Structure 1
Amino acid sequence: MNLSSSPTAVSAEATGSPPSWLLLGAEPMRAAYELASAQFMKKADLPAGDGHPVMLFPGLATDARMLSPLKNLCSDLGYGALDWGRGFNTGPEGDIERWLDRLADDVAQHADEHDERISLVGWSLGGIYAREVAKKLGPQRVRRVITIGTPFSGSAKQTRAGWVYRLLNGTEPVLGPTWARRLALPPPVPTTSIYSRSDGVVSWQACIQRGRHPHVENVEISGSHCGMGWNTEVFAIVADRLARR
């Protein structure tokens, strides 16, 4: 897999402003339209799964309920779909490194229980968890990573979600240069970054893997940020990538 294999492959600079207030304001209506469109999608036309485990990570201020359309899709296709098991996502707690280590241990346990490598799918902030866990566990336990509207190559200033983080945690989301460089490094497994130029929450430039990496691709879809979890284009890409060996 390479960049040219995606429907739309681009390169981008890390710089970029947060999405416009107009795009942000249109998020609820657009997400509702995407949810309605998903009801008419012919999921039977999507490639069937091989039964390997797939863990899904929710975005900031969301939980398994927001991921249920995507989880149900994976289950219907024949995968062992798993929720991340930590409920409402308020962001990492305490020491970030130790928090990620515990999360990686949970994922490794699921992979070992299935005696098969696991694929990781993360929406928004959940995609950062998926990428970092894959870096910790490596290709011995992780088969593939798919991120959906995940700002791993930018800064907190490139999102409109900062106020949500402040509301949940009482602090500003701070990303130091060391962590910024770390998050921008791709996982050592096949990785797909799904992004939308019309994302109203996260700057699309922050969702792009820069540089040429033969196992990484950037794939553009048309949709809102809040509706990516049930966007029909996202469904098709996730189904296709999970089915690849």
Structure 2
Amino acid sequence: MPGTKRLRVDYIPSASVVPVITVKESDDLSLARTLMELYGFSQLPVMRGKRPVGVVSWESIGKALLRNPTAGLSDCIDRQVEIRKQGDDLLDSIASISARGYVLVENNNRSISGIITSADLGEALGDIAGPYLLLSEIEEILRDIVGALLATGDLTEVDIGNALADETKGFGGDPASLTLGELANVLATDVAWQALDTSYDRSTVNRTIGDVSKLRNQVMHFRVLDDADKDLSKRLPFVRDVLRNLSEEFGSIGPLGAVATYVSTTGVVEATVP
């Protein structure tokens, strides 16, 4: 799809390591085993000059020693290793990483820059999925709050339109059409906070939601997060819980009943009142 952000191999931190720990084809097996234990590696690239000839792993060592208890390093090399470039599509590499357990990575100078293992891949995809799911949940809670405010009449479509005055599009009548950033703008308005009548500090909550909206753009475009973004990513469960509490506070002072309706410019819309 044109314009879609591509997730590159070098999104995985282990694809770009300085320095890369390697062994030479002529080294003793004892050196490879010592380095693997000291650094906690399951695999090591084996080099001939500046180019890799393969990888030595605990699996390849075990198989070689079963065949020959006096096997040397050269007998333990898996020479059928795949090499990927840092700029390659990560999704295209997942099958190889899963099947073989690892791939080597090289930079634009064709120098080995790292190795990606199945564990590295799983950790990275987990780091993507966790914040993604939490951001989606936060967006839905904000959407429910805005929908409930509309349903009770505390917030009007004109109010939302005014909150989106600087946006390129207006409000079409359905909260489902609003992005996380737009929902944050709506929640930040005086009319929304007067209706919510919450005990939470308005400026702190709105600033945090604004930061979360920016974080969403970083996460959705697979950008490397800086320290501040990483810290906020870790706090997303707490942000979600605060918004849940905010929703429940409004529900406790709002009308009873599970569902309320309001008539929008596009028709009747049902909104769940917390």
TM-score bracket, shorter-length normalisation: under 0.3
TM-score normalised to structure 1 length = 0.24
Indicate the structure whose relative CO is greater, using CA pairs within 8 Å and at least 6 residues apart: 1
Mark the structure with the bigger radius of gyration.
2
Normalized per residue, which structure has more helix?
Answer: 2
TM-score normalised to structure 2 length = 0.22
